[in-house]
Structure 1
Amino acid sequence: MEVLKNAIHFVLDLGAPVFVPLIMIIVGLIVRMKFRDAFSSALTLGLAFIGMNMVVGFMMDSISPAAQAFVKNSGINLNAIDGGWTPMSTLAWAWPLAFLMFPVQIIINLLMLAFKQTNTLNVDLWNVWGKIFTAVLVIGVSGNIPLAFLIAAIQVVLELKMGDVNQKQIQKLTQIPGVTCTHGMTLFNVFLYPINRLLDYIPFLNKHIDANWLKQRIGIFAENHVMGFIIGVLIGTFAQYPPQKILILGVQGAAALTLFPMVARLFMEALAPLSDSISEYMKRKYSDRQLYIGLDWPFMAGCNELWVAMIIWVPITLLWAVILPGNNILPFGGIINLSLAVPALIVTGGNLLRMIVLGVLTTPVFLYVATYFAPTITNLAKDTHVINIKDGQFLSWSSIELPDFRYIFAQASNIVHGEFLGLVLAIGWLGLFYWYYKGMQKRANQLSTELDGTSHHMSL
């Protein structure tokens, strides 16, 4: 057991830019790619991950200090530190039973493929820490380890089902066939879907307004670099920066929005040969199914709507943090809310205006759930001695992924203490998931005809 644990930690220490490409080389060789082609595609994928991490880090290093200055100028005292996702993953891996989540995810995926309950092979094993984090939060609420693994297993199943039903929409957005997103953040789609359906009945919001639509109507002001500059200047102004720093932040914003689609092209370059090889291999083996490769979100980073929405949400998030009664977290490490942007992109089909509206309406969910879990996360940090936290302060994550799922199912685990409200909420959430799944199935069927005429499918 100790040997297995050490082996897993060795692989994890490689990081996603090395770990995921290694898996892709193995998959490529299984489907009879030439080693040189599999290696080249995998190395390009690793470069894409590194590049995306660099650009995201650059943007966060630019915007986060401005966001903190904005809150400081407001005079509000918020004593929960927003560490972002990095310390959360560190705390997750500090759990002594963390390594057992690997076989849980892999076995569930293989069984669902064998019994035709999914068409998605999730190779994003790096983000197994998300299931571990869910389990840790459940234990923090109820103290029940078996229920923690059960709820994490439910998350694994739902991520695969999300990968299936979202694939056509994701393919339309990215133009990359045979690939889907199996990151847990997509479960927030369940919460966003009913709101998005309500927006269908608002005349102005039932139009599809994306980055291309804006470019046709406002010209240069909708170009990535110009939008990035304008948004950066506005954020610097809100932070009460001096003129020089405002202009610098504007140029940094312009650079970030210009670089994102450039880096995203590397994902297309890396994944296209593998997609084609898997498609040909599966056509020779089967004729009645489709197989999708489940990946982390960065291959979707070429969608400009993603970045425009997230940067616009920065001042909105800060405003909510200041005015929400009961909020205790100062947005910092999680100020760039990918946990909201990726689900909103999928649910709206890339409708930028709707994405912004959804962000305005649902950002409080993230802040309140982050505030709720702050004592649990802080106690975990103190118990494991992984992160030092001063007395009187708390640690949390302002853009905590799948906040509704984690909060509701953690509450459901309190059934061991005779509390049933959480279980009722969990059943209701699963009902909404079923509604979402059926709705996206219908959308996928409509998109299939369009996509069949423009790209290859990965068929089994």
Structure 2
Amino acid sequence: MESFLAPISSYLNTLGPSVVLPVIITLFGLLLGLRLGKSFRAGVTIGIGFIGINLVIGLLAAQVAPAATGMAEGLGVSLDVVDVGWPSSAAIAFGSSIGAMIIPLGLVVNVVLLLTGLTRTFDIDLWNYWHSAMIGALVGAVTGNYLLGLLSAAVHLALILAMADLTAPIVQKYFQLPEISFPHGTSAPYGLLAIPMNKVFDAIPGLRRLDATPEAIQKRFGLFGETLMMGLILGVLIGILGYGFDAPAEDSTAILTLAISLAAAMFLLPRMVAILMEGLMPISEAARTFVQKRFPGRTFYIGLDSAIAVGQPSVIATSLLLVPITLLIAVILAPAGNRVLPLVDLATIPFIVAVMVPIFRGNIVRSVIGGGILIGAGLFIATWIAPTFTQIAVESGFALEDGQATISSLVDGANPLTGLFFAGAELGTVGVLATAVLCLAGVVAIRFAMKARDRRALAAETTDGAAARDGAGA
């Protein structure tokens, strides 16, 4: 089975999400009862949106990475673990033995959880199953046991779906995306951790009343509070940190190019996301009709890539602020044991904060503080797993470039769940099984929490309805 599916997995990785998702969306639209023409147009439009988003993210990576390297060199810090970014991480994950099985495994897990009522999300973002494949590959490499790796991948999928369910109402309200959730391996765990962090921020007098949404910032600072101008200013700042105040002419040009590139990213990302949403809307409407007809009384969410959230002003503003902060944190933590130099994945910080931002109610200050704390802690995880990450890369056929003796990534290498599963694997079979039990208990706990939330919402609606009737009667 594995040998049969390996070429398919490799081919999907070669195609990438911009090609794979249009095909999946087209088939899904037909399944929901849409005409072929409408389904196909929706799929192609979504593919175009992804290409646009990836072009902007690629622009950021190309411009920020040299400045990041220059900053580390200027501060005399040796960070020898290279952040190869999510595209390479996805290729490594799909190229692993677990990657060959991950899509059929993910579909089975998703259907079982839906049928048993443990989760509500139907995840059509099959491409991002690579996050679970990476977890399985790491566990399999540490334990030397393929089945334990496969088990870990399945449990990781289940937990991500449950996390998506838990944060779905907040995501739907903030981003105005009815019946949508984000079962994204990068975004979902950070969203879960943001919930208790937000309660802590609420208890801090200085943060409790601070209104730091993009709207409030623009109102206070006018032109310089606009997200476009924030990108320009941050570009200059990052460029100066990377190339120096007394930069020669060619580096001065690089600073100005970086500044206008970040401004362009702030301007273009929302428009690329709008294209993505144009393709999504007919699928979302068809899915809503399909569920209401066949499962009356049940609530389902359509699981999508958190890419549809990265163009929101608070998300992109938080992400750009975190670029220089992440670099400074990496340098500051070097004496404490961090060896990772954030590079390629600096451009994908929007995916890290995509679910955190709505939990922090769009407050950029809270989001930057929360993101900085979690990314800082994650750098130690990325350093810890780097040797195993590199081993998997080599076994998957990934060609290391000159100077890349050890590699890792910021997106999944620094992820809290990566640390949890890797710690379990380090303890052997017992540790892996204990981690699986703990995570499945978390799935059940989230289900009970959601039922309690549903009851509270129903009680509130009943109370409001009764009050309205009493008012009308008076």
**TM-score, L = length of structure 2:** 0.86
- Does 12-21 or 226-235 show the bigger shift? 12-21
Q: Deviation of residue 430 (structure 1)?
A: 6.1
Larger mean Cα displacement after TM superposition, 254-263 or 411-420: 411-420
| CA–CA separation in structure 2 for the residues paired with 1:433 and 1:310 | 32
Deviation at 1:162, TM superposition (A): 1.9
My pick for the range that moved more, 251-260 or 407-416, is 407-416
Overall identity of the aligned pairs, in %:
28
Structure 1 partner of 2:217: 214
Would you say 1:321 and 2:335 are equivalent positions? no
Q: Give the distance between the partners of 1:224 and 1:368, measured in 2 at CA.
A: 31
Q: What is the root-mean-square deviation in Å for CA atoms of aligned residues?
A: 3.0
User: Against the structure 1 CA distance between its residues 289 and 320, is the aligned structure 2 distance closer, same or farther, given a 3 Å change threshold?
Assistant: same
Matched, 1:121 2:122: yes
Q: Distance between the aligned counterparts of 2:346 and 2:455, measured in 1?
A: 32
Distance in 2 of aligned mates of 1:25 and 1:445 = 38
1:294-353 deviations in whole A, cap 9, x for unaligned?
A: 111111123111111111111211111112111111111122324531242243232211
Structure-1 separation of matches of 2:403 and 2:227: 44
Letter of the 2:203 partner, please give it.
Y
CA deviation after TM superposition for structure 1 residue 386, in Å: 2.3
Q: Which residue identity is paired with 1:105? A: G
User: In the alignment, what sits opposite 1:454?
Assistant: none
In 1, Cα distance between the equivalents of 2:258 and 2:444?
Answer: 40
Alpha-carbon distance in structure 2 between the residues aligned to 1:73 and 1:114: 56
Q: Which letter does structure 2 place at the counterpart of 1:24?
A: I
Q: Distance in 1 between matches of 2:58 and 2:457?
A: 37
Letter in 1 for 2:325: I
Secondary structure of 1:395's match?
A: strand
| Paired position in structure 2 for 1:189 | 191
- Pairing partner for 1:278 from 273, 277, 287: 287
Do structure 1's residue 50 and structure 2's residue 54 form an aligned pair?
no
- In the alignment, does 2:365 pair up with 1:353? yes
Q: In 1, Cα distance between the equivalents of 2:77 and 2:118?
A: 50
Partner residue of 1:77?
78
Give 2:267's aligned residue: 258
How many residues end up aligned between the 2 structures?
Answer: 449
Select 1:200's aligned residue among 199, 202, 223. Answer: 202
Cα distance in 1, alignment partners of residues 284 and 60 from structure 2:
31
Distance 1:4 1:380, change over 3 A: closer
Q: What are the ranges of 5 or more consecutive residues in structure 2 without an aligned counterpart?
A: 462-474
Aligned mates of 1:440, 1:235 — CA distance in 2: 46
Alpha-carbon contact 1:176-1:268 (below 8 Å) kept:
no
| Structure 2 counterpart of 1:171 | 172
Cα pair distance change 1:123/1:392, threshold 3 Å:
closer
Is 1:330 equivalent to 2:332 in the alignment?
no
- Matches of 1:380 and 1:226, distance apart in 2: 42
Distance 1:444 1:340 in 2: 31
Offset from partner CA, 1:44-78 (integer Å, 9 cap, x none): 11110000000111111111211111111111111
The alignment partner of 1:121 has SS state of: strand
Deviation at 1:231, TM superposition (A): 0.9
1:256 and 1:263 map into 2 onto residues whose CA distance is 10
Residue equivalent to 1:309: 318
1:33 match: secondary structure: coil
CA distance in 1, matches of 2:364, 2:10: 40
Give the partner amino acid of 1:90: A
The answer as to whether partners of 1:345 and 1:355 remain within 8 angstroms in 2 is: yes
The CA distance in 2 between the partners of 1:123 and 1:342, in whole Å, is 18
What pairs with 1:319-398 in structure 2 (closer than 5 Å)?
Answer: 319-324=328-333, 325-336=336-347, 337-388=349-400, 393-398=405-410
Aligned to 2:18: 17
**TM-score, normalization by structure 1:** 0.89
| Aligned match of 1:109 | 110
Which letter does structure 2 place at the counterpart of 1:10?
Y
Instruction: Provide, for residues 168-187 of structure 1, a one-character-per-residue CA deviation record: whole Å limited to 9, x for no partner.
Output: 21122222222221111212
Which secondary structure does the structure 2 equivalent of 1:280 belong to?
helix
Q: 1:432, 1:107 → 2: CA distance?
A: 16
Shifted more, 140-149 versus 99-108: the winner is: 140-149
Query: Following the alignment from structure 1 to structure 2, what is the Cα–Cα distance between the partners of residues 78 and 345?
Result: 29
Worse overlay, 174-183 or 137-146: 137-146
Q: Give 2:465's aligned residue.
A: none
Q: Aligned to 1:81, what secondary structure does the other structure show?
A: strand
Aligned-partner SS, 1:177: coil
In structure 2, how many angstroms separate the alpha carbons of the residues matched to 1:444 and 1:262? 38
Q: What amino acid is aligned across from residue 219 of structure 1 in structure 2?
A: G
Displacement of 1:424: 8.0
1:458 corresponds to: none
Say whether the 8 Å CA contact 1:415–1:423 is kept in structure 2: no
Name the CA shift for 1:27/1:250 in 2 (closer, same or farther; >3 Å): same
Going from structure 1 to structure 2, the CA distance change for 1:3 and 1:405 (only over 3 Å counts) comes to: closer
C-alpha deviation, 1:442, in angstroms: 4.2
Seen in structure 2, the aligned counterparts of structure 1 residues 378 and 95 have a Cα distance that, compared at 3 Å, is: same
SS in structure 2 opposite 1:118?
Answer: coil
Amino acid at match of 2:97: P
Q: 1:26 corresponds to which residue? A: 27
Deviation at 1:216, TM superposition (A): 2.2
* Deviation by residue 1:240-288 (Cα, 9 ceiling, x = unmatched): 1454433322211111100011111112211112212222233222320
Kept in 2, the 8 Å contact 1:131–1:156? The answer is yes
C-alpha distance in 2 between matches for 1:445 and 1:48: 38
Report the Cα distance in structure 1 between the residues aligned to 2:63 and 2:284, rounded to whole angstroms: 36
Q: Residue 184 of structure 1 contacts residue 402 of structure 1 at CA under 8 Å; is this kept in 2? A: no
| Match status 1:224 vs 2:235 | no
Distance in 2 of aligned mates of 1:153 and 1:243: 50
The residue aligned with 2:148 is 147
